[in-house]
Structure 1
Amino acid sequence: MTHIEGAQVGPATQTPFDASERRAWAGRAAAYAAGFGRLCAYTVPRLLDAAGVTAGIRLLDAGTGTGAAAVAALDRGAEVVAVDAEPDMVRAAAAAAPEAAVRLAALPQLPFPDGAFDATVGNFVLNHVGRPRAALAELRRVTRPGGRIALTIWAAPPAPGQALLGRAVRAAGVPRPPDVPALAPEDDFPRTAEGFAELLRAAGGLGGVRCSALSWGHRTTVEEWWRGPAAGVATIGRVVTSQGPVVTERIRRHVVALAEEFAEPGGRRPGQLVLPHTALLAVGRVAER
């Protein structure tokens, strides 16, 4: 049975970055699932392993998106609660994971009591919040003492495949629109293994923190890789579509040209690419009281 519950996403906790993220993802669950969603799903098995997700575990999947981690956790026999800040993502996740309890909620304010979950995961969710430290503190609050928190983010500098779209935007001479703010400097942190681990350590109340890099070649096509940005998905999509169809087409031509260096030799489909990506996976255990 599918459970979809609403929760007030408090505007008082939103930064300009959070508001921009809401605009970037609004109504784009299907476009995300068809492209970037496949990419982001790669880290899910390792994420669940790090969190110790097994049968009977009560798990929170924060920033579930279209539900890849929730589905995988259900397959392991976990009891899953999933949240996302975007209603379209909530609907998609509920359809993909009908045995999960899926709710509309945004970090850093979750509608759960202290210690409600045995483990918490967030697959790239910290890339999309304006106050990562506050978000991490909230995840720690809702995870029981002794429970694990496992999170992924994209590494910086980005791997070559991840940088492809940004390179095309720069080659086309397209600036970042003023209504697409970057994370405030005081809220940012180094997107390195040590920087991510230190973020968890500095949160307090987390022990045994460790962080590792996950690298892989994402197989896609030029057409599929372009589909998400052209539909306005994520921050890069807002940049790509910010100046109208003529400029969007100019960026697309640069994507096609730059993608040639990632062509898979002997690829089975025209335009087959292998795009190198690197993510960081960090895990910590909530201290016993």
Structure 2
Amino acid sequence: MIDADYDAHERSRWAGRAEAYQRSFGRLCAYPTQALLEAAAVRAGRRVIDVGTGPGTVAAAALARGAAVLAVDAEPSMLDAARRAAPGAALARAALPRLPVRTGGADAAVANFVLNHVGDPAAAVAELRRVVRPGGRMAVTVWPSPHPPLQRLWREAIDAAGVSAPADLPRLAAERDFPRTETGLASLLAAAGLVDVRCTTVTWVHQADPADWWAGAAAGIGSVGLVVQRQPAAARERIRREYVRLSAAYRDADGTLRLPTAALLGSARVDRPGT
């Protein structure tokens, strides 16, 4: 059963936010792009579906490899951005776990930081498997737990400001969640009937302008943005002040933030037709 409330909430939280996302978290999420495409064996002439394309970063990189790309997203502002970034890609408004692709219609599927935003990760992986032909590969990225310093910075700023997440925010049902570890992600892929499962941790240092990084949270981007936007003005200002104070430990001499972070990269091969 799909968690409709969770998925509907995820759709609403991204409405009209493509520009804010690109200014802040979009650059962060772009880092694993080439590793993601390599894990999915994206090559010239391959048919690739980029699920949750966002502003089209992965789609554009796949096109640069000579692939034929279908870029899918549920949010119109993201599709507009993807159209500009990847003008050679076909676009479709859709979301997991229902993709407008026939069974086995793609040579590869990629989903960059998408499984973090679905109400039923197992159903989402099953749909990715369905659309990839036997012999093709799929690859996904998710944020790990425990959180690396970049994500911990936001949690520490919120805690220091004395703020709690709103109690009415939808949460992924425990029985549908999976451990955000290499083993947990690999198990999720294997449970879908995928083979040659691989999972690694990609690490990097994200560089950001402090104002741009705060602007994303203030605009409601990411989990931290959900918390920030739901606060009264005084609480938002407390979070901002704590963010400025705590982020000073990560600033270079020129003021640029250098935030260590990581992502889980999982990939697998489809060995028989999906359903």
* Interval containing the TM-score (normalised by the shorter chain): over 0.9
In structure 2, the partner of 1:280 is 264
Alignment partner of 1:123 out of 97, 112, 115 = 112
Mapped partners of 1:235, 1:86: distance in 2: 17
The answer to whether the aligner puts 1:178 opposite 2:162 as a matched pair is no
Alignment partner of 1:159 out of 135, 144, 148 = 148
CA contact (8 A) 1:215 1:279 kept: yes
CA-based RMSD of the aligned residues comes to 1.3
* Local SS of the residue matching 2:11: helix
The answer to whether the aligner puts 1:243 opposite 2:231 as a matched pair is yes
> Which has the higher mean CA deviation after the structures are superposed, 51-60 or 90-99?
90-99
The answer to whether the aligner puts 1:48 opposite 2:32 as a matched pair is no
Tell me the TM-score normalised to structure 2 length: 0.96
Where do 1:79-158 residues align within 5 Å?
79-158=68-147
The one-letter code matched in structure 1 to 2:176 is D
Residue 147 of structure 1: how far off its partner (Å) = 0.4
In structure 1, the partner of 2:218 is 230
Mapped partners of 1:160, 1:15: distance in 2: 32
Residue 24 of structure 1: how far off its partner (Å) = 1.4
Residue 221 of structure 1: how far off its partner (Å) = 2.2
> Which has the higher mean CA deviation after the structures are superposed, 177-186 or 208-217?
177-186
Mapped partners of 1:20, 1:178: distance in 2: 14
In structure 1, stretches of 5+ residues that fail to align are: 1-11
The one-letter code matched in structure 2 to 1:249 is E
* Local SS of the residue matching 2:246: helix
Deviation string, structure 1 residues 122-173 (Cα, Å, up to 9, x no partner): 0011011110000000000000001000000011011011211121111112
The one-letter code matched in structure 2 to 1:277 is T
CA contact (8 A) 2:45 2:68 kept: yes
The one-letter code matched in structure 2 to 1:263 is R
Mapped partners of 2:50, 2:3: distance in 1: 20
Mapped partners of 1:27, 1:235: distance in 2: 17
CA pair 14-96 structure 1, distance change in 2 beyond 3 A? farther
Residue 244 of structure 1: how far off its partner (Å) = 2.4
The answer to whether the aligner puts 1:218 opposite 2:206 as a matched pair is yes
Residue 13 of structure 1: how far off its partner (Å) = 4.5
Residue 235 of structure 1: how far off its partner (Å) = 2.8
Residue 16 of structure 1: how far off its partner (Å) = 2.1
* Local SS of the residue matching 2:54: coil
Residue 246 of structure 1: how far off its partner (Å) = 1.8
CA contact (8 A) 2:2 2:119 kept: no
The one-letter code matched in structure 2 to 1:88 is S
Mapped partners of 1:239, 1:279: distance in 2: 22
The one-letter code matched in structure 1 to 2:148 is A
The one-letter code matched in structure 2 to 1:235 is S
CA contact (8 A) 1:146 1:285 kept: yes
CA contact (8 A) 1:25 1:234 kept: no
CA contact (8 A) 1:165 1:255 kept: yes
The one-letter code matched in structure 1 to 2:42 is V
The one-letter code matched in structure 2 to 1:218 is H
CA pair 150-45 structure 1, distance change in 2 beyond 3 A? same
Mapped partners of 2:139, 2:69: distance in 1: 15
* Local SS of the residue matching 1:276: strand
In structure 2, the partner of 1:4 is none
Residue 250 of structure 1: how far off its partner (Å) = 0.9
Mapped partners of 1:35, 1:142: distance in 2: 31
Deviation string, structure 1 residues 54-95 (Cα, Å, up to 9, x no partner): 110100000101110000001111000010111111111112
In structure 2, the partner of 1:261 is 249
The answer to whether the aligner puts 1:66 opposite 2:55 as a matched pair is yes
CA contact (8 A) 1:180 1:235 kept: no
The one-letter code matched in structure 1 to 2:261 is H
Mapped partners of 1:164, 1:20: distance in 2: 25
